Chain A
Amino acid sequence: MHPAPSVILFTSLSGLGFGLLVWLGLGVLAPTGWVAFVFFTIAYLLAVGGLMASTFHLGHPERALKAFTQWRTSWLSREAWASVAALVIMAVYGAGLVFFDNRWAVPGYLGAALSLFTVVTTSMIYAQMRTVPRWNNPTTPAMFLSFSLAGGALLAGQVTLAAVLLALAGAAQVAHWAVGDRALAGSGTTMASATGLGDRGAVRSFEPPHTGTNYLMDEFVHVVGRKHSRTLRAIALVSGFGLPILILLAGAGHILAAVAVLLHLAGVFAARWLFFAEAEHVVGLYYGKR
């Protein structure tokens, strides 16, 4: 799949933002006044910024409101609802903390649940795709959720929680790779099944339908070199999880914590880039690609 920067930004940043909102809503940290304002601002900038980024890849962002209509069938529509609901409820909750110095537990828990659900909906957009076997398994939501919660905890300054969750998230990522690397082969979808010609002999693409490129090739056929992939995976694990955990365990000050957050973010970007770039869409089989 084409690793579109807008989608990588969106999923990475909004995941982080909603993760922070989860911990805020649950009251794992319950700042008030200016401190609360800063925390909520960071969370909203990330969540809303991510959502905004996601609209960059739309052909018609001015029609985005229509995306609220199909919540019964579409995970993307559900994501729209969930994110707006979470942001609204958490705004109420945040107002309590910032302006009234008061933690209203019900909107907090509800907002946390909605924030978590938003991340679920995002992950399900990918996990539902049978066309992308690498995504079409439980490790996808596990990874999204663990990334979101770990990143949120890191931002929330919850050292132990963050360290544990970062380790879990790293594990989820490794699981996603392990499962994903075998997913296409395990899906049963091959050039033989794509063409129905497999019982006659070995099938290979002779000439593509057009000698130039097209939307499908640009969007769905992206080949990452094996070596390149190994390097990026290592960077993602070390930067996203390993180093932040070490820094946390070393007992961090504010500056080091900021470094940990930035390292984590860089790792998440790398992981997310791989999440798309390594994902094999079965349509590539029609073009003789993977």
Chain B
Amino acid sequence: MAKDQPHLDTSPHVSDEVRKTTCYMCACRCGINVHMKEGKVAYIEGNRDHPVNRGVLCAKGSAGIMQVNAPSRLRAPLKRVGPRGSGEFEEISWDEALEIATGWLKPLRETAPEKLAFFTGRDQSQSFTGLWAQSFGTPNYAAHGGFCSVNMAAAGIYTMGGAFWEFGQPDWDHTKLFLLFGVAEDHDSNPIKMGIGRIKERGARMIGVNPIRSGYNAVADDWFGITPGTDGLLIMALIHELMKAGKVDLDYLAQFTNAACLVDSDPKSDSHGLLLKDSEGQPQVIDRRTGQLAPWNGQGVQPDLSATHRRAGVTHRPVFHAMADRFLDPQWAPEAVADRTGISADRIRALAAELARVAFDEAIALDREWTDFRGITHDQMIGRPVSMHAMRGISAHSNGFQTARALHTLQILLGSVETPGGMRFKPPYPKPHTGHPKPHCKVTPGAALDGPHLGYPQGPEDLCLTQAGGPARIDKAFSWDNPLSAHGMMHMVISNAHAGDPYRIDTLFLYMANMSWNSSMNTRQTMDMLTDTDAHGDYVIPRIIYSDAYSSEMVAYADLVLPDTTYLERHDCISLLDRPISEADAVADAIRWPVVEPDRDVRAFQSVLCDLGARLGLPGFVNADGSRKYADYADYMTNHIRRPGIGPLAGWRMGETGLQHGRGEPNAGQIDSYIREGGYWMEHVPEGAAYYKPFNSAYQDWAVRMGFYDSPQPYVFSLYSEPLRRMQMAAEGKGAHQPPEHLRARLKTHMDPLPFWFEPLGDETAQGYPLHALTQRPMAMYHSWGSQNAWLRQIHGVNPLFVPTKIWQEHGFAEGDWAVVSSPTGSITVPVAHMAALNENTVWTWNAIGKRKGAWALDADAPEATKGYLLNHLIHELLPEKDDGMRWSNSDPVTGQAAWFDLRVKIAKAPAPQEAQPAFAPVASPVPPATETLAWKVGK
């Protein structure tokens, strides 16, 4: 250093202590190092050892310090004093709050537990909140999956025992071509960014299929700017091309899928469409060694992909023949789909050929010996290095389930699932659909429900129906309306409860779900429903309890508010029983723990449920003598036993000879072990078990040892889905459980056991609305509770509607213009901006930037409240009336997934209004006004 330059201390004190916990700025669940100074949070960075993020951290994670100190934090329990929706509350004590809640809930439990509807939003403790609801005895419980990505999850589970995100990931280390569909830049956010970085570093290529070329699609080597809702059509065309050219992995299909399983192909037969089974119920294949029937999993069996079997006058054909019928149909030819997808036939053909080239001409082989469930030992692991990932963009359409099925079919046909370079499951996945619970709904006053609420029906007998055949659940999940609604249908709860259809409820209990704003379709009407009164002047939905850490828009609509803590002030477990944080090569779970103590009168919601559960005497929350079982959530995390040897956390359990992982008895020091080891537990998958997991004996044995299952559960992928066929058969009039007449036709069409594509259901009534309208979550903001963050809101404080060049020019738009955007449901007036890298018939905006005046401790003139807006106003939970006089649900007929992205609009230039329209009256803020300047530094 030259002597005339200032002296600089290059080794300043960094922090007094680093506390390692788990981020909760979104659902990605990265490990974070929280640097503490004088007992305060000074700086947050990623944890390098953590399996999810390996040290990196996104904008939201780094902005956590502004979240923990946000002025919008609720300060104490609130009791409503003004009319519902006014935001007028008084702060009360926890004792009073819990007495009120107990006073409301206890009589319900004793007489009609279903009158409590308990729905949790972006809950990361569903195995706990579900247990609470089950113990209460109400069938009305679910989280937010129904309006998020249930199509993706359910299609993945039913097809191959896992989907994307917490279920599976591309083999980033080996893939040579990565195909990304419909990802709105949110879920699995850091792992995908890390993965993209890694494949780019290796010179591998990436193709984006998305109407919008932002974010990940901006760095894709090739971009297919597809028309929204037609991904399935494109995928069908790709499958058509690949099959037509014989470019499918026959070996893989025969061994590891049900393509060789025999199906009753006689339409006159009672079991038409069902798999041929032996006396033990095992699907049958023809064994190539003998030419005879054999169970699919028989030792040494070599399933024949093409042999048929005739028995008792009925022909049984292999599934693969039915697939040929389906996919080789000329309606899926590239020329036939080009116009609707917006992708030329040449480009579709080139994409199919590229997939085939990489999968088969650039195949890779790892010299790792492994033995499959038929006892056959393979000396190599053959990889088809094409990997795919998809999310809400293909999921949130009314055809999303079958589109996701088609996508998985494409992956499987290429032999690229659970093989090197393809897609890999993350333990405890893969898990066959038959290995999941089925839904339960049997209500007994004063007692627990007969089993877990959510699951995977195998046939009509598993639906949640009343004696009369109507929906048993308030959200109508698992009813004939949406038989496979595996995540429930939170988006229907308020409108059904308001309509008293299927029945009236008493108390709506919500957690972290902004239903009066960005988490509902048709926001204005939702507000009306929440505040509507009957002839006596009583609220139609009599009581609403809400828990949130922040002054969100929903707070104003509650009668009782239970203030939650921020994520750095609480215990949490990211459990294998729930949505774990595992990676393909390792099983992992994690905790949060209070790295700082709350400075307000707030309590972690899960601890409050432990308390409330004890006050209500819920089984599972009281001891035999009726005393309270869990002091708090940490107590539950440590001591709850789900199955013998299995608890919420898998690390550091008590074995016979000491601490062990996976199975074991509760260990009083478990949370301390987690804290000491960085806030997570991880165990690597043995090398020989790393691929072919559903079929690999070494993996199955390891999974049993870890406690994922109690016995090996090998299975093959369900290209043909029998549960769907069983529902379809009911619609055809077969079987004891029959759907209502008005649903027969649509069930027959949509519960197709092989994937297909159909026009999004709303299109028919959207004539005159030529444009598709989408939302995306910005990477720096995704998940609405980030939007009041002082640092992040500067990045995304307003959300123009992005308009493609063709429409921009047609309407003569200029910078700074506004437009009226209307759908069959309503209209909004919003600022517009030009974007060229966009499907020419699509407009879009950033999601959930718009805020209600009075919420989130923002000033009433904050741009989020004056220029920000929601597309939600344009979306209805029901479609407009059709010729049949019915208003069909705006959702996927299979799963009930909310079809957000089916939205069709038209646009017209408009004079600039004072504020984006519709504008809503401010609500009173339950928290004091925020500071005028901020210069946050906790150290000296």
Q: Do A and B touch each other in the complex, judged by CB within 8 A? A: yes
Query: What is the CA–CA distance of A212 and B835 in the complex, to the nearest angstrom?
Result: 19
A208-248 near B? 1/0 per residue, CB < 8 Å: 01111000000000000000000000000000000000000
Interface residues of B in 793-852 (CB under 8 A from A): 794-798, 835
Interface residues of A in 184-230 (CB under 8 A from B): 206, 209-212
Determine if A211 and B835 form an interchain contact, defined as CB atoms under 8 angstroms apart.
no
Determine if A210 and B835 form an interchain contact, defined as CB atoms under 8 angstroms apart.
no
Say how far A145's CB is from chain B's closest CB, in angstroms. Answer: 34
Query: What is the CA–CA distance of A181 and B569 in the complex, to the nearest angstrom?
Result: 59
Say how far B791's CB is from chain A's closest CB, in angstroms. Answer: 10
Name 14 A/B residue pairs within 8 A (Cβ), A-sorted. A206-B835, A209-B795, A210-B794, A210-B795, A210-B797, A211-B794, A211-B795, A211-B796, A211-B797, A211-B798, A211-B863, A212-B794, A212-B797, A212-B863
On chain A, the residues within 8 Å of B794 by CB distance are: 210-212
On chain B, the residues within 8 Å of A211 by CB distance are: 794-798, 863
B509-552 near A? 1/0 per residue, CB < 8 Å: 00000000000000000000000000000000000000000000
Taking beta carbons and an 8 Å cutoff, which residues of A are in contact with B?
206, 209-212
The residue in A210, A211, A212 that gathers the most chain B C-beta atoms within 10 A of its C-beta is: A211
CB-nearest residue of chain A relative to B837? A206
Query: What is the CA–CA distance of A211 and B797 in the complex, to the nearest angstrom?
Result: 6
Known: A209-B795, A210-B797, A212-B797. 8 other contacts (CB 8 A): A206-B835, A210-B794, A210-B795, A211-B794, A211-B795, A211-B797, A211-B798, A212-B794
Query: What is the CA–CA distance of A189 and B734 in the complex, to the nearest angstrom?
Result: 75
CB-nearest residue of chain B relative to A211? B797
On chain A, the residues within 8 Å of B835 by CB distance are: 206
CB-nearest residue of chain A relative to B867? A211
Query: What is the CA–CA distance of A212 and B863 in the complex, to the nearest angstrom?
Result: 9
On chain B, the residues within 8 Å of A206 by CB distance are: 835
Query: What is the CA–CA distance of A206 and B800 in the complex, to the nearest angstrom?
Result: 11
Say how far A204's CB is from chain B's closest CB, in angstroms. Answer: 8
Say how far A138's CB is from chain B's closest CB, in angstroms. Answer: 33
On chain A, the residues within 8 Å of B797 by CB distance are: 210-212
Query: What is the CA–CA distance of A209 and B795 in the complex, to the nearest angstrom?
Result: 6
CB-nearest residue of chain A relative to B794? A210
Query: What is the CA–CA distance of A209 and B59 in the complex, to the nearest angstrom?
Result: 13
On chain A, the residues within 8 Å of B795 by CB distance are: 209-211
CB-nearest residue of chain A relative to B849? A211
Taking beta carbons and an 8 Å cutoff, which residues of B are in contact with A?
794-798, 835, 863
Query: What is the CA–CA distance of A206 and B846 in the complex, to the nearest angstrom?
Result: 14
CB-nearest residue of chain B relative to A206? B835
On chain B, the residues within 8 Å of A212 by CB distance are: 794, 797, 863
Q: How many A-B residue pairs have CB under 8 A?
A: 14
Query: What is the CA–CA distance of A212 and B861 in the complex, to the nearest angstrom?
Result: 13
Say how far B239's CB is from chain A's closest CB, in angstroms. Answer: 34
On chain A, the residues within 8 Å of B796 by CB distance are: 211
Say how far A14's CB is from chain B's closest CB, in angstroms. Answer: 31
On chain B, the residues within 8 Å of A209 by CB distance are: 795
**Which 3 residue pairs spanning A and B have beta carbons closest together?**
A211-B797, A210-B794, A211-B798
Say how far A253's CB is from chain B's closest CB, in angstroms. Answer: 53
Query: What is the CA–CA distance of A209 and B794 in the complex, to the nearest angstrom?
Result: 9
Query: What is the CA–CA distance of A206 and B798 in the complex, to the nearest angstrom?
Result: 14
On chain B, the residues within 8 Å of A210 by CB distance are: 794-795, 797
Query: What is the CA–CA distance of A3 and B531 in the complex, to the nearest angstrom?
Result: 52
Query: What is the CA–CA distance of A209 and B778 in the complex, to the nearest angstrom?
Result: 13
Say how far A184's CB is from chain B's closest CB, in angstroms. Answer: 20
Say how far B835's CB is from chain A's closest CB, in angstroms. Answer: 7
Say how far B699's CB is from chain A's closest CB, in angstroms. Answer: 45
Query: What is the CA–CA distance of A209 and B863 in the complex, to the nearest angstrom?
Result: 16
CB-nearest residue of chain A relative to B797? A211
Query: What is the CA–CA distance of A210 and B794 in the complex, to the nearest angstrom?
Result: 5
Query: What is the CA–CA distance of A212 and B798 in the complex, to the nearest angstrom?
Result: 8
Query: What is the CA–CA distance of A210 and B835 in the complex, to the nearest angstrom?
Result: 17
Say how far B836's CB is from chain A's closest CB, in angstroms. Answer: 8
CB-nearest residue of chain A relative to B836? A204
Say how far B215's CB is from chain A's closest CB, in angstroms. Answer: 11
Query: What is the CA–CA distance of A210 and B798 in the complex, to the nearest angstrom?
Result: 10
Say how far A187's CB is from chain B's closest CB, in angstroms. Answer: 24
Query: What is the CA–CA distance of A206 and B797 in the complex, to the nearest angstrom?
Result: 16
Query: What is the CA–CA distance of A212 and B797 in the complex, to the nearest angstrom?
Result: 7
On chain A, the residues within 8 Å of B798 by CB distance are: 211
Query: What is the CA–CA distance of A191 and B795 in the complex, to the nearest angstrom?
Result: 22
Query: What is the CA–CA distance of A85 and B798 in the complex, to the nearest angstrom?
Result: 53
The residue in B795, B797, B835, B863 that gathers the most chain A C-beta atoms within 10 A of its C-beta is: B795
Query: What is the CA–CA distance of A209 and B797 in the complex, to the nearest angstrom?
Result: 11
Say how far B831's CB is from chain A's closest CB, in angstroms. Answer: 11
Say how far B212's CB is from chain A's closest CB, in angstroms. Answer: 12
On chain A, the residues within 8 Å of B863 by CB distance are: 211-212
CB-nearest residue of chain B relative to A210? B794
CB-nearest residue of chain A relative to B218? A206
Query: What is the CA–CA distance of A210 and B781 in the complex, to the nearest angstrom?
Result: 13
Query: What is the CA–CA distance of A166 and B794 in the complex, to the nearest angstrom?
Result: 49
Query: What is the CA–CA distance of A209 and B798 in the complex, to the nearest angstrom?
Result: 12
Say how far B192's CB is from chain A's closest CB, in angstroms. Answer: 21
Query: What is the CA–CA distance of A210 and B795 in the complex, to the nearest angstrom?
Result: 4
CB-nearest residue of chain B relative to A209? B795
Query: What is the CA–CA distance of A214 and B747 in the complex, to the nearest angstrom?
Result: 56
Say how far A169's CB is from chain B's closest CB, in angstroms. Answer: 38
CB-nearest residue of chain B relative to A202? B836
Query: What is the CA–CA distance of A211 and B800 in the complex, to the nearest angstrom?
Result: 10
CB-nearest residue of chain B relative to A208? B795
Say how far B426's CB is from chain A's closest CB, in angstroms. Answer: 33
Query: What is the CA–CA distance of A87 and B794 in the complex, to the nearest angstrom?
Result: 47
Say how far A110's CB is from chain B's closest CB, in angstroms. Answer: 31
Query: What is the CA–CA distance of A212 and B793 in the complex, to the nearest angstrom?
Result: 9
Query: What is the CA–CA distance of A211 and B778 in the complex, to the nearest angstrom?
Result: 13
Say how far A199's CB is from chain B's closest CB, in angstroms. Answer: 18
Query: What is the CA–CA distance of A210 and B790 in the complex, to the nearest angstrom?
Result: 12
Say how far B925's CB is from chain A's closest CB, in angstroms. Answer: 22
Query: What is the CA–CA distance of A206 and B794 in the complex, to the nearest angstrom?
Result: 17
The residue in B794, B797, B798, B863 that gathers the most chain A C-beta atoms within 10 A of its C-beta is: B794
Query: What is the CA–CA distance of A248 and B899 in the complex, to the nearest angstrom?
Result: 80
Query: What is the CA–CA distance of A206 and B835 in the complex, to the nearest angstrom?
Result: 7
Query: What is the CA–CA distance of A107 and B587 in the complex, to the nearest angstrom?
Result: 86
Say how far A195's CB is from chain B's closest CB, in angstroms. Answer: 14
CB-nearest residue of chain A relative to B815? A288
Query: What is the CA–CA distance of A210 and B796 in the complex, to the nearest angstrom?
Result: 6
CB-nearest residue of chain B relative to A214? B794
Say how far B360's CB is from chain A's closest CB, in angstroms. Answer: 33
Say how far A206's CB is from chain B's closest CB, in angstroms. Answer: 7
Query: What is the CA–CA distance of A209 and B835 in the complex, to the nearest angstrom?
Result: 16
Query: What is the CA–CA distance of A212 and B868 in the complex, to the nearest angstrom?
Result: 13
Say how far A250's CB is from chain B's closest CB, in angstroms. Answer: 49
CB-nearest residue of chain B relative to A288? B815
Say how far B218's CB is from chain A's closest CB, in angstroms. Answer: 10
CB-nearest residue of chain B relative to A207? B833
Say how far A193's CB is from chain B's closest CB, in angstroms. Answer: 21
Query: What is the CA–CA distance of A205 and B795 in the complex, to the nearest angstrom?
Result: 15
Query: What is the CA–CA distance of A211 and B799 in the complex, to the nearest angstrom?
Result: 9
CB-nearest residue of chain A relative to B835? A206
Query: What is the CA–CA distance of A75 and B798 in the complex, to the nearest angstrom?
Result: 42
Say how far A61's CB is from chain B's closest CB, in angstroms. Answer: 20
Query: What is the CA–CA distance of A211 and B795 in the complex, to the nearest angstrom?
Result: 6
Query: What is the CA–CA distance of A22 and B794 in the complex, to the nearest angstrom?
Result: 50
Query: What is the CA–CA distance of A111 and B835 in the complex, to the nearest angstrom?
Result: 61
Say how far B496's CB is from chain A's closest CB, in angstroms. Answer: 38
Say how far B850's CB is from chain A's closest CB, in angstroms. Answer: 13
Say how far B220's CB is from chain A's closest CB, in angstroms. Answer: 15
Query: What is the CA–CA distance of A288 and B863 in the complex, to the nearest angstrom?
Result: 22
